[in-house]
Chain A
Amino acid sequence: MIRLFAHANYDFIKWRHYAYALTALIIIPGLILLAIKGLNYSIEFTGGTFIQIETRHPIQTAELRADLDAAGIHGTEIQSFGSDTSYSIRARLGENVTSPGGDAEETSAAVGRALDAKIGHDNYVIAKHEAVGPKVGKELQGKALLAIFFSFFVTLAYLAYRFEWRFGLAAVLATFHDILTTIAFIRYMNLEVSLVVVGAVLTMVGYSLNDTIIIFDRVRENLRKYRRTNLYEILNLSINETLPRSILTHGTTMAATVALVIFGGEVIRPFSLVMTFAIFTGTFSSIYIAAPVLLLIEKRWPGQDARGARAFVPREAQATAVPTSLSAPAPTGGSGGSRSKAAV
């Protein structure tokens, strides 16, 4: 029988400050970069024209650009799309793209004429063509934000109902952290933010919450089981106990997303990449953000039996310091360890 981390006994919470530093190191430069350069929105959000063509023979993007320039279309973005016979031509609205007619419809017609003239009507096919007006794009941006906001609210309400509001808040803050890291990741990778990528971010929200809840569920159970252990210990114990599950589930999910990245095709790749990253950040935040934040919240706003406040006395100091609560010191049954299984 293979067993991974079956008797793990790591003091995860102790490393929280390093974890904060690491995540700040990802988020802050990412957000600065974001402030400077913005996100690479797809035309669904900005409005404009996107044309994907498949040519029979490879062509040079520089040549294609020259042809479009000759046809009076300036300022388009031309990229090869996955292979050397597949190209994308992107003209965002409001980015000084000039074309004979001016609007999206005309731009695509002009591109068609330019291609007909240069490589011949039979030597290419338009695999995909999108033209989005400016109004639609604006609305979509609003909707995406709305979706994220709503999902936070609903989750907070559900967790407040099933656990208590402290858990809900910690879970939502951890998820918010994940959104920040994911946005930073999207910025570093310069991925195109399409509606589908927003969908991936929202799925990440669900996945990360899912993971946090698994740990919190164990915390809830252990709080009931070990009445006298402090929260710090309980959190560590719960994370350690759920560790094999975390490894396994992240392993299988990762297998699926990596398969999507490698084999899923160009269209879905940004989605797959974001999901793969989401699994990392979701796992990380469940352990290093959600749990310590729960501890902080408990310290600030102690619950009924004030276990969080009690828990906040550092482990080293616990032996000497007088516990702030009325109960007896935590009965750490193990030899120097934090596990208190013997208590049951």
Chain B
Amino acid sequence: MRSIRNRLIAIVFLLGISVALLLPRNVTQRVADAQGRMKDTTVRHVPINLGLDLQGGIHLALEVDQSKGPVPDCAGAIQRAQRVVRTRVDEFGTTEPVVQIVGQCRLVVELAGEKDPGRAKQIVQRTAFLEFRITDMRNQFRDALPAVDRALRVAGVKAPSGAQVSAVSQLFGDTAKKGADTSKKKSGTPAPDTSESNAPGALSSLLFTGGLPGEFLVPEEQVSRAESLLARPEVTAALPRGLDLRWGTEAQSRGARMYRALYIVEDKPIITGEELTRANARRDPQNNHSEVVFDLTRRGSRKFCDETGRHVHDYMAIILDNRVQGQPPIINDQICGTGQIDLQSKPLTEAQDLALVLQAGALPVPLSIVEERTIGPTLGADSIRDGIKAGIVGVALVIVIMVGYYRLSGGLAVASLGLYVLMTLAGLSLFGFTLTLPGLAGMVLSVGIAVDANVLIFERIREELQHGKTVRLAIDEGFTHAMSAIVDSNVSTVLTAAILYLVGTGPVQGFAITLIIGIVASMITAIFVVRTFYLIWLRRRPDMQTLSV
């Protein structure tokens, strides 16, 4: 009795988790709007990743182009290429782009939902561009913010209600204090109408001062709004000359919220990637700091010597493909020939990543496309529809066979089959695996195979009943005796599927995963869930003489 209750709790728990994993969730998606700008939109859907063959999209496999001379270290080159393509990922209109190194020297890029292969190829193959620029050390941008807000107000753009009044709000760090003082002074003197200027500024209310001059943080959800404001002609006209805006690569968390860094940098680079010859990450043995060491060409070191001499104690943004990589380091000293970027106590992996960025700029990797697939969205939708239709028909047939042959016991098996389908889908969602068309076929197939464990058990129970055993004993024996066959056959199938996963690619891997999850789920449902049903049944009718099997 206790055991039945525990079993029921376990089943309800499994059911609950499966359903919870499959509830539709809000997912933020970057989509290109009518002007081709990227916008965040929120979509609500069941959290199962659909493969390219089901939702349409582009799959590209790239290799280092060796046609114009051999590239000695292709593994290193492809890592640089991966780093570069990752920074450009935002330019694609897709939720979860895949940028993955496959094997030694191949890069696979998968862009779900992307329709224009020409554009995608152009973005992926574009040569990387690395530059170093000094950040806005004199806070010219921040001083111009009131004017920008005014220009926006004239143009009729209002700040969202509830925005902070202060021109630039601070987040963390004490550099902020100084900033607040200057901004107050500035906005106080020239503003003709104080009540007007006290209203929250449309742009400045989105910006928080960061940890260093020229750095601002924008809440992740406001990034697209800030982008569109900054692109307006009134704003560009009001911005001080000689400055450019560059976004950081990825969102960083401060407290509970996510922020994206916006950097104000000088419009002229002090040096570009062409002048770099080498970059390596290492750990300084003396102070145990992670650091990146880089070498410059002769021409580059002359230039860099001059510039860094002039900019000692300034911050230098490292920009790859218009994205600022990491937090700009400070220039401690004049740098000639060989430079070091000290990342202090940050992990070595971060230094390695930065070194990869510098290398990518120094040695751009020409990529050639070795494989390209484009699947239109309608084809994917057709495939899903056909797959589901086949699934429904297949499952219906299985139900008819099982209930027709095993009667009530078959009914129990079918009930557990429902849980089986739920659990398989939940497993896909939980591990973030992708459902592909062969995967869908694999699921339909596995419904047919899933009942095998039940069939084995039922047949065994029938045999035991024939030997004249009581119902209770027959059920017990049936389960015990069928177990070795179920385990051995399923383990060998899982082994083959695992090999399929290891050796296969894309859709085939999806198929192997669905098969493995399906087998595990079918063992749980057939052995555990059906057994529980029997136990409940036996408790209700302890004197049962015949079993409907």
Contact = CB atoms under 8 A, between A and B. Distances in A.
Nearest to B385: A265
Contacts of A147: 499-500, 503-504
Interface in B449-467: 449, 451-452, 455-456, 459, 462-463
B28 interface: no
Contacts of A268: 383, 386-387, 437-438, 440-441
A195 B504 CA distance: 8
Interface of B (DSSP majority class): helix
Contacts of A125: 376, 378
Contacts of A150: 499, 502-503
Nearest to A52: B379
B383 A265 contact: yes
Interface string B479-494: 0010011001111110
A13 interface: no
Contact of A206 (B61, B462, B492): B492
Interface stretch (B83-91, B287-295, B364-372): B364-372
A245 B455 CA distance: 6
A249 B452 contact: yes
B496 A257 contact: no
Contacts of A211: 489
Interface of A (DSSP majority class): helix
A52 B387 CA distance: 19
Given A260-B394, A262-B393, A265-B382, A245 B459 contact: yes
B117 interface: yes
Contacts of A207: 449, 493
B404 interface: yes
Interface in B428-444: 437-438, 440-442, 444
Given A213-B492, A214-B489, A245-B456, A127 B378 contact: yes
Contact of A265 (B387, B485, B504): B387
Contacts of A154: 495-496, 499
B378 A265 contact: no
A84 B370 CA distance: 32
Interface in A28-80: 52, 54
Interface extent on B, as a size class?
35 or more
A162 interface: yes
Nearest to B453: A249
A17 interface: no
B369 A105 contact: yes
Contacts of A196: 437-438, 507-508, 511
Interface stretch (B41-49, B218-226, B395-403): B395-403
Interface extent on A, as a size class?
35 or more
Interface in A230-287: 241-242, 244-245, 248-249, 251-260, 262-265, 267-268, 271-272, 275
B390 A128 contact: no
Interface stretch (A130-138, A299-307, A329-337): A130-138
A1 interface: yes
B499 A210 contact: no
Contacts of B395: 256
Contact of A252 (B401, B499, B502): B401
B438 A2 contact: no
A241 B492 contact: no
A202 B448 CA distance: 17
Nearest to B377: A127
A241 B383 contact: no
List the 4 shortest-distance A-B pairs measured between CB atoms, nearest first.
A265-B386, A256-B448, A255-B397, A253-B448
Interface of A: 1-4, 6, 52, 54, 104-105, 125-133, 135-136, 140, 143-144, 146-147, 150-151, 154-155, 158-159, 162, 195-196, 198-199, 202-203, 205-207, 209-211, 213-214, 217-218, 220-221, 241-242, 244-245, 248-249, 251-260, 262-265, 267-268, 271-272, 275
25 contacts: A3-B462, A130-B374, A136-B370, A146-B503, A147-B499, A158-B495, A199-B508, A202-B496, A203-B511, A205-B496, A209-B493, A217-B484, A217-B489, A218-B485, A248-B451, A251-B401, A256-B394, A256-B398, A256-B445, A256-B447, A256-B448, A263-B389, A265-B386, A265-B390, A267-B53
